[in-house]
Amino acid sequence: RKRYSKQRVTCELAFKVGFASAKKLANIGEYIVIGKDNRPSSDMLEAAVTAGICSAGINVIKFGIVPSSAIPFLIKKTSASGGVMISASHNSSEYNGIKFFTDHGFKLEEETEAEIEKEIDSINDTSLRSSGKDIGRVSNRCDLVDSYIDFLTNLYPLNLRGLKIAIDCANGVASFIAPEAYKKLGAALSVHSNEESGENINYMCGSTFPENISNIVKKTKSDIGIAFDGDGDRLIVSDEKGNILDGEFIMAIIVNFLKNEEKLKNNLLVTTVMANLGFVQALKNLGIKVITTDVGDRFVLIEMLKRGSIIGGEQSGHIILLDKYTTGDGILTSLALLNVLIKQKQPLSELSKIMKKYPQVLINVE
């Protein structure tokens, strides 16, 4: 993820990235889906990537503003050969980036990304020329976004009536999607940081500024607060007292429930080497095996697939529920947590007592 500027992510680069990735992901005449977040530069980069893909002879299906985590669903829904998301996730509005997904809904492996980079370096004016039937076409299917909401709520068809939920949409894509999901399930909703311009995406709100949702919960007397990041694939929550609970608390609550329900495949959870010792110890006390990987959801997913784990994630709130979906999704994870809340009939402040954080200092080493 880079700043959108003359020196970093440019339309020219985005065009080449679209061209090179299309040649790697699809064959002539096939389809690639594209989604974007709502930050100002996303429209330009979407157009540039689309032009690059079409120049490679691949058709494009545009879905407009959607969560990053919607792309795998839309790939399957349209039988596409891959997907692209224009977003800089939890970063501020001046940044942007381009993510890719395979036809199976997984993010690209490092080796594939390296091959695309080599292809970009080899592009010249001649290789970019295409004409007539060799040019891909573009279609818009924003109408299918509602089916993504249906997909999530069908995975957890909860009755949220009587539950008061506060959500912080980080002024990002969750503003367009999340309220509808919770309302569909009957929740009483208090929506915040849902400005749609994208100019202040993630600014002093969302999962990277959890103090905001904590204050909102206390002010609105909500049962739970849910704060997303800009592209909606992670979350941090607040209990009814305003206590902030990161991804480790969320995972501990969900994984304990799965174990008690005898649904925890292979009795393990995958996280990263940055995991808090209190989290790891709590799971060991519950008889749950913990596997650690390098930092990044890519490495968590690889290990989950290797070990046959159905749950894994990071402190940041990027959590993968592999028995439900192929990537981390903030709304889906919140529904899994709300499912426990309803089934256990306990407030979140009680459920979170399952673990206690140990003092921790994280240092970046270059």
pLDDT of residue 28: 87
- Domain count across the chain: 2
Q: Is residue 149 part of a domain?
A: no
Q: Are residues 162 and 82 in the same domain?
A: no
Q: Are residues 13 and 108 in the same domain?
A: yes
Q: How many CA atoms lie within 13 A of 23 on its CB side?
A: 20
| Residue at token pair 């065009």 | 15
Sign of CA dihedral 1, 205, 170, 155: positive
Q: Are residues 193 and 280 in the same domain?
A: yes
The residue ranges of the chain whose pLDDT is under 50 are 2, 4-7
Structure tokens at 285: 């006390």
Last residue of a domain, one of 80, 108, 143: 143
Q: Are residues 327 and 348 in the same domain?
A: yes
- pLDDT tens, residue by residue, 100-156: 999 999 988 888 989 998 888 888 765 666 666 789 999 999 999 999 999 999 999
Last residue of a domain, one of 143, 173, 202: 143
Q: Are residues 204 and 102 in the same domain?
A: no
CATH number at residue 39: 3.40.120.10
**Residue 166 structural domain:** 156-354
pLDDT of residue 133: 72
pLDDT of residue 6: 42
- What are the start-end ranges of the E strands in 97-153? 98-102, 138-140
Q: Are residues 100 and 184 in the same domain?
A: no
Q: Report whether 310 contacts 320 (CB < 8 A).
A: no
Q: Are residues 172 and 120 in the same domain?
A: no
Sign of CA dihedral 345, 350, 356, 359: positive
Q: Is residue 359 part of a domain?
A: no
Q: How many CA atoms lie within 13 A of 125 on its CB side?
A: 0
- pLDDT tens, residue by residue, 292-334: 999 989 999 999 999 999 999 999 999 999 999 999 999 999 9
User: Active-site residues: which are they?
Assistant: 89
Q: Are residues 137 and 180 in the same domain?
A: no
- What are the percentages of helix, strand and coil residues in the chain, rounded to 5? 40, 20, 40
Q: Are residues 82 and 215 in the same domain?
A: no
Q: Is residue 183 part of a domain?
A: yes
Q: Is residue 361 part of a domain?
A: no
Q: Is residue 315 part of a domain?
A: yes
State pTM to two decimals: 0.93
